[in-house]
Structure 1
Amino acid sequence: MPVRATTAKPAARKHPRGAGSRTAAHPRSTAPNRTRRPDSSAKDTNRGGPSDTTPGLVLRSVEAAIEWLKTHIRQLLETARDRGAMLTEKIKQKIQEWIETLVDEVAHGGVGMQAGLEGVRAALTGKNPVWAAIKGLVTGLSTKAKIALILLLGLGLLLGPVLLVVLLLALLVMAIVAAVRAAAAD
């Protein structure tokens, strides 16, 4: 006897699609100051068809994530700007303290007099009076003032090339602007 192939229908589901373990799905995005927009991809529920809101939910989730990123990036930038301003202020105060220490040593101590005497002595012997005065100034300074002088000279050597490049770029821009204006006037 030949075996007949029968096609049996699968058993009907006992639970609707939305029920069961899937009910604890991700909560909807609650972005601040957002109103719910109608989803253009949803089917009309008045005709009996199921509603599909997945694209709209994904779009709202992406928008909420973008807003969250924007907010946190703004906060990070504000914090960095504030800390940069504080650091700049601290550097300015330190440089001002070093300069004041150096000026106090020269003005109130016998350093200025010693530098002047060394310069005169060098001039009388036929040597360079400026170099002798600088040597006399440095030897008369205290250790703290010498350190301040070294730091100021080092800072000048480090920032000198940067300032030179900025000056050259400014001159280049001015030359280009003058050339464009001259060409426009002709």
Structure 2
Amino acid sequence: MTAHHADPATTDSTASPGAAFRHVLSTALEFAAAKVSQKIDALGGKLTGVAESTVEAASSGLADVAEGVTGGGAKQQAAVSGVQAGLQGKNPVWAAVKGAWSGGGSKVKAAIVAAVVALVLLAVLSPVLLLVLLLGLLIAVAVAKVRSAKR
């Protein structure tokens, strides 16, 4: 004997009290779910607006700070530019370098150029240095084997 479960939407709701209750409960749950979904969507829109206005206010405040720091040193310019770029979703490291360049004197600019040149040389020479290290280890192992064979 198998139990036959009828869909409340396809049966007459007056056929049994249980079917009528299921139909009313299902309709009420669908209505409540729709209302909750609407409230969540509205709240999400409000939170997005608050976040956007907060980022705009912080960015404009930092712009004011940047204008006040224009006479400041490279550190201040780098910090303000980096934070401002981070709030705008841009690369803060590159913005900090550009801020340090614009706020720094000739010594700061020379240090930035020297750091870039050093990084390029390191990238070019690191494979050569690795080969020299490996050849040195190979020679050391060969010398050690020859010395141990003589004993």
- Give TM-score scaled by structure 2 length: 0.43
TM-score (norm 1): 0.36
| Structure whose residues are more often helix by fraction | 2
Structure showing greater Rg: 1
